[in-house]
Chain A
Amino acid sequence: MIKNVLLVDDDHEMLIALKEGFQKYKDSFSILLASDGLKAVEGLKKNTISLVVTDLKMPGMDGFELLAHIMENYPDIPVTIITGYSTPEMERLAREGGAVGYIAKPFLIENLARQIMTTLRKESEGGTLHNVSSGLFLQLVEMEQKTCTIRLEDKFSNKKGILFFQEGELLDARVNDLQGENAAYEIFAWDQVNLSIQNGCALKEKRIHSEMQHLILEAARRKDEDLVGDVQPEVMEEVEPFEPDPADIIVAIKEKIEAKLGPSSGVEDIYQDNSWDSRLLQFSRAGIFFNIGELEMGYIDKGEENDFIVMPGENSTVIAVNPKGPRDKLLRALSE
């Protein structure tokens, strides 16, 4: 799932420079821009934001007021402060206000990008799953009594939503400016979703009081009767979502292997094959159960002429390898 990072600064040139600088990270996150705190509040209502990076001194609503608004209304969204007027007192106030990061201007764009990536990675620390039925998976979360924050993206509409669980109990849901049960109905009406799981739940207030089963059934009923609103999010200004071309993925893997292992890698073929998707889904779920994070790849020996390295993605990528090849070196090269 491409994550949205909201940059807030009244310095237009700064915003444009950051947006251009972050182009090379477009396969990891998209950039939305807002020129002051009030516009950021609007942006938060209309989009699913994963991280806010904000300046402090701005006309209208300043960075501290925006930080307070986010902590009260979106406690799951981390905030990083960037400021040209940094003092230890300012940093202390920002940290006490809930900011997870604080960077004084001027800064290297790579440093900010690194901090963004580190923060965003926490969103999916509990694992990522592709093409799953939201209802089934969420019942699993309830059964396993997990405390987590789940971000979902509908495969059909690309809408994004978020669910908050405390020991398997659904506390709240959010889709754009919908909250509570109405948002849950919307999310549970999505048939196929990609989702990422963050351990822990920043939200404490319980806004949903119905049982999960009831919510799922009601969502299905509303969907049948087409009662669920179909409001498309108004994106302020978004970098085009990056959809990697399968051919590019294969070329990138080939190049990586050739660079690390040369011609004696033992690789026979690389292709995409979605018949592996359901197996990889089961493997991913096992990883969630054992709390060992996201599935990166698997090495499979079926006793056939070739062994296989399989990697999850939109479609599973399969590397057929000679069983006598340098297996460990190959896996290490692909992990790096």
Chain B
Amino acid sequence: MEGVKGLMLFSLAGDPVYKEFNQAQPEGIESRDWSLFIESLAGMRETDLIFEKGRLYIRRTEIGYLVILMGLFVPIAMMRLQCDILLPSLKPAKAVKGIRRLFKK
């Protein structure tokens, strides 16, 4: 979607699990302590933070928090819809037991 500058997935403990940016990535994502930020999202399903020069759209998922960095003018209804469609596919990987774990699906 136009205006989306990047996205990050944080674990529920605040560890960055995945990140992708369309522009220069902010320095120090891995080294920053995100735990307080993630703690402050406790109990929130969806958070839309509006800043002077941009927006952070945050969705809770089964495995953590998806944080989307975007410009001020991204159609937020479309963003919500895209997340509604895609987020159910973000689930914790199931451990495969026995000999099956040795084979690719």
Contact = CB atoms under 8 A, between A and B. Distances in A.
Interface stretch (B52-60, B85-93, B94-102): B52-60
Interface in B48-78: 48-56, 69, 76-77
Interface string A308-336: 00000000000000000000100100010
Interface string A8-26: 0000000000000000000
B36 interface: yes
A279 B52 contact: no
A84 interface: no
A74 interface: no
B56 A290 contact: yes
Contacts of A286: 37, 49, 56
Interface in B1-57: 26, 28, 32, 36-37, 39-40, 43-56
Contact of B49 (A278, A283, A289): A283
B37 A293 contact: no
B32 A293 contact: no
A296 B48 CA distance: 11
Nearest to A308: B44
Contact of A300 (B39, B47, B54, B76): B47
Contacts of A213: none
A299 B36 CA distance: 19
Interface size class of A (residues with CB under 8 A): 20 to 34
A300 B77 CA distance: 15
A297 B53 CA distance: 12
Contacts of A290: 26, 54, 56, 69
A289 B16 CA distance: 14
Interface string A124-164: 01000000000000000000100000000000000000000
B74 to A, nearest CB: 11
Interface of A: 125, 144, 278-279, 282-283, 285-287, 289-303, 328, 331, 335
Given A287-B56, A294-B52, A300-B44, 9 more contacts: A144-B32, A282-B37, A293-B53, A296-B50, A296-B51, A298-B48, A300-B46, A301-B46, A331-B48
Closest A-B pairs by Cβ, 9 of them: A293-B52, A292-B54, A282-B40, A301-B46, A293-B53, A279-B40, A299-B48, A292-B51, A287-B51
Interface of B: 26, 28, 32, 36-37, 39-40, 43-56, 69, 76-77
